[in-house]
Structure 1
Amino acid sequence: MQTVNIHNAKTNLSRLIDRAAKGEPFIIAKAGKPLVKVVPLDSPSVQARRVGFMTGQLSVPDDFDRMGSDDIDQLFGAIP
Protein backbone atom coordinates (compact mmCIF):
# COMPACT_ATOMS: atom_id res chain seq x y z
CA MET A 1 0.00 0.00 0.00
CA GLN A 2 1.37 3.37 -1.02
CA THR A 3 2.13 6.00 1.63
CA VAL A 4 2.21 9.66 0.57
CA ASN A 5 3.01 12.79 2.55
CA ILE A 6 0.42 15.54 2.92
CA HIS A 7 2.09 17.88 0.42
CA ASN A 8 2.24 15.15 -2.22
CA ALA A 9 -1.37 14.16 -1.48
CA LYS A 10 -2.54 17.76 -1.97
CA THR A 11 -0.56 18.08 -5.18
CA ASN A 12 -1.82 14.80 -6.66
CA LEU A 13 -5.21 14.45 -4.96
CA SER A 14 -7.27 13.83 -8.11
CA ARG A 15 -4.92 11.12 -9.36
CA LEU A 16 -4.73 9.47 -5.93
CA ILE A 17 -8.52 9.47 -5.54
CA ASP A 18 -8.95 7.92 -8.99
CA ARG A 19 -6.55 5.14 -8.04
CA ALA A 20 -8.26 4.60 -4.66
CA ALA A 21 -11.66 4.42 -6.37
CA LYS A 22 -10.26 1.66 -8.58
CA GLY A 23 -9.29 -0.37 -5.51
CA GLU A 24 -5.80 0.91 -4.67
CA PRO A 25 -6.05 2.36 -1.14
CA PHE A 26 -3.30 4.65 0.14
CA ILE A 27 -2.13 6.20 3.39
CA ILE A 28 -1.52 9.90 4.00
CA ALA A 29 1.32 10.60 6.40
CA LYS A 30 2.66 13.69 8.15
CA ALA A 31 6.38 13.76 8.91
CA GLY A 32 6.49 10.05 8.08
CA LYS A 33 3.76 9.22 10.61
CA PRO A 34 0.62 7.60 9.10
CA LEU A 35 -2.51 9.70 9.73
CA VAL A 36 -5.32 8.44 7.51
CA LYS A 37 -6.10 5.62 5.13
CA VAL A 38 -8.06 6.38 1.97
CA VAL A 39 -10.12 3.44 0.69
CA PRO A 40 -12.91 3.18 -1.89
CA LEU A 41 -16.51 3.08 -0.73
CA ASP A 42 -18.33 -0.19 -1.30
CA SER A 43 -21.64 1.52 -1.99
CA PRO A 44 -23.20 4.93 -1.48
CA SER A 45 -24.18 5.46 2.14
CA VAL A 46 -27.19 7.58 1.21
CA GLN A 47 -29.65 6.46 -1.41
CA ALA A 48 -31.21 9.08 -3.65
CA ARG A 49 -34.83 9.85 -2.91
CA ARG A 50 -37.25 9.08 -5.69
CA VAL A 51 -39.80 11.82 -6.23
CA GLY A 52 -43.25 10.56 -7.12
CA PHE A 53 -42.59 6.89 -6.38
CA MET A 54 -46.09 6.47 -4.87
CA THR A 55 -48.01 8.31 -7.59
CA GLY A 56 -51.52 6.97 -7.86
CA GLN A 57 -51.29 4.87 -4.68
CA LEU A 58 -52.63 7.51 -2.29
CA SER A 59 -55.67 9.71 -2.27
CA VAL A 60 -56.18 12.95 -0.35
CA PRO A 61 -59.75 13.75 0.77
CA ASP A 62 -61.28 16.97 -0.57
CA ASP A 63 -61.75 18.27 2.99
CA PHE A 64 -58.16 17.50 4.03
CA ASP A 65 -57.41 21.11 4.98
CA ARG A 66 -60.51 21.22 7.20
CA MET A 67 -60.14 17.82 8.89
CA GLY A 68 -60.29 18.17 12.67
CA SER A 69 -61.15 21.87 12.51
CA ASP A 70 -64.15 21.44 14.87
CA ASP A 71 -61.94 19.80 17.49
CA ILE A 72 -59.27 22.49 17.09
CA ASP A 73 -61.84 25.28 17.36
CA GLN A 74 -63.24 23.69 20.51
CA LEU A 75 -59.78 23.29 22.08
CA PHE A 76 -58.91 26.93 21.47
CA GLY A 77 -62.26 28.38 22.50
CA ALA A 78 -63.71 29.38 19.14
CA ILE A 79 -66.80 27.22 19.75
CA PRO A 80 -68.56 27.57 23.14
Structure 2
Amino acid sequence: MKEIDIDEVRANLFSLVDQAVRGESFLITRDGKPVVKIEAVAGAISRSLPRLGFMAGQFTFPEDFDEIDEQIEKLFYGEK
Protein backbone atom coordinates (compact mmCIF):
# COMPACT_ATOMS: atom_id res chain seq x y z
CA MET A 1 0.00 0.00 0.00
CA LYS A 2 1.28 3.47 -0.89
CA GLU A 3 2.51 5.63 1.98
CA ILE A 4 2.28 9.42 1.71
CA ASP A 5 3.76 11.99 4.10
CA ILE A 6 1.25 14.34 5.68
CA ASP A 7 2.92 17.39 4.06
CA GLU A 8 2.34 15.89 0.61
CA VAL A 9 -1.29 15.19 1.56
CA ARG A 10 -1.77 18.85 2.43
CA ALA A 11 -0.47 19.88 -0.98
CA ASN A 12 -2.38 17.26 -3.02
CA LEU A 13 -5.55 16.53 -1.06
CA PHE A 14 -8.05 16.71 -3.93
CA SER A 15 -6.09 14.41 -6.25
CA LEU A 16 -5.52 11.94 -3.40
CA VAL A 17 -9.25 11.86 -2.63
CA ASP A 18 -9.91 11.14 -6.33
CA GLN A 19 -7.40 8.28 -6.18
CA ALA A 20 -9.12 6.84 -3.12
CA VAL A 21 -12.53 7.03 -4.83
CA ARG A 22 -11.01 5.05 -7.74
CA GLY A 23 -10.14 2.31 -5.23
CA GLU A 24 -6.49 3.20 -4.54
CA SER A 25 -6.23 3.28 -0.74
CA PHE A 26 -3.11 4.70 0.96
CA LEU A 27 -1.53 5.41 4.32
CA ILE A 28 -0.76 8.89 5.63
CA THR A 29 2.50 9.00 7.53
CA ARG A 30 3.99 11.47 10.00
CA ASP A 31 7.73 11.31 10.65
CA GLY A 32 7.82 8.06 8.67
CA LYS A 33 5.21 6.31 10.83
CA PRO A 34 1.74 5.37 9.50
CA VAL A 35 -1.01 7.29 11.30
CA VAL A 36 -4.10 7.14 9.07
CA LYS A 37 -5.40 4.76 6.40
CA ILE A 38 -7.47 6.35 3.62
CA GLU A 39 -9.87 4.26 1.55
CA ALA A 40 -13.16 4.85 -0.23
CA VAL A 41 -16.44 4.25 1.53
CA ALA A 42 -18.13 1.07 0.24
CA GLY A 43 -20.14 1.90 -2.86
CA ALA A 44 -18.29 5.16 -3.53
CA ILE A 45 -15.73 3.63 -5.87
CA SER A 46 -16.16 5.27 -9.24
CA ARG A 47 -17.08 2.93 -12.08
CA SER A 48 -17.57 5.71 -14.65
CA LEU A 49 -16.24 5.64 -18.17
CA PRO A 50 -12.79 7.08 -18.70
CA ARG A 51 -13.09 10.61 -20.09
CA LEU A 52 -10.31 10.48 -22.67
CA GLY A 53 -11.37 8.58 -25.78
CA PHE A 54 -14.66 7.30 -24.38
CA MET A 55 -16.47 8.08 -27.66
CA ALA A 56 -13.77 6.66 -29.96
CA GLY A 57 -15.33 5.16 -33.08
CA GLN A 58 -18.80 6.55 -32.34
CA PHE A 59 -18.77 9.15 -35.13
CA THR A 60 -16.66 10.32 -38.05
CA PHE A 61 -15.73 13.65 -39.60
CA PRO A 62 -16.05 14.28 -43.34
CA GLU A 63 -12.81 14.46 -45.32
CA ASP A 64 -13.30 18.16 -46.06
CA PHE A 65 -14.03 19.09 -42.42
CA ASP A 66 -11.15 21.56 -42.10
CA GLU A 67 -11.35 23.10 -45.59
CA ILE A 68 -12.28 26.77 -45.78
CA ASP A 69 -15.67 27.54 -47.33
CA GLU A 70 -15.23 30.41 -49.80
CA GLN A 71 -18.62 31.94 -49.03
CA ILE A 72 -17.95 32.06 -45.29
CA GLU A 73 -14.45 33.40 -45.88
CA LYS A 74 -15.93 36.26 -47.92
CA LEU A 75 -18.32 37.08 -45.07
CA PHE A 76 -15.42 37.35 -42.60
CA TYR A 77 -12.72 38.94 -44.75
CA GLY A 78 -14.63 40.53 -47.64
CA GLU A 79 -13.79 40.25 -51.32
CA LYS A 80 -10.15 39.68 -52.27
TM-score (norm 1): 0.52
- The reply on whether 1:30 has 2:30 as its aligned counterpart is yes
2:18 alignment partner, SS class: helix
Distance 2:34 2:42 in 1: 23
TM-score (norm 2): 0.52
Unpaired runs of at least 5, structure 1: 45-80
- List, as ranges, runs of 4+ consecutive aligned residues in structure 1 with deviation greater than 6 Å: none
Q: How many residues align?
A: 44
1:23 alignment partner, SS class: coil
Distance 1:33 1:39 in 2: 18
Higher-Rg structure is 1
Unpaired runs of at least 5, structure 2: 45-80
Distance 2:6 2:22 in 1: 21
- Name the amino acid aligned to 2:17: I
CA RMSD of aligned residues (A): 1.2
The percent of aligned pairs where both chains have the same amino acid is 36
Distance 1:26 1:18 in 2: 12
**1:41 maps to what in 2?**
41
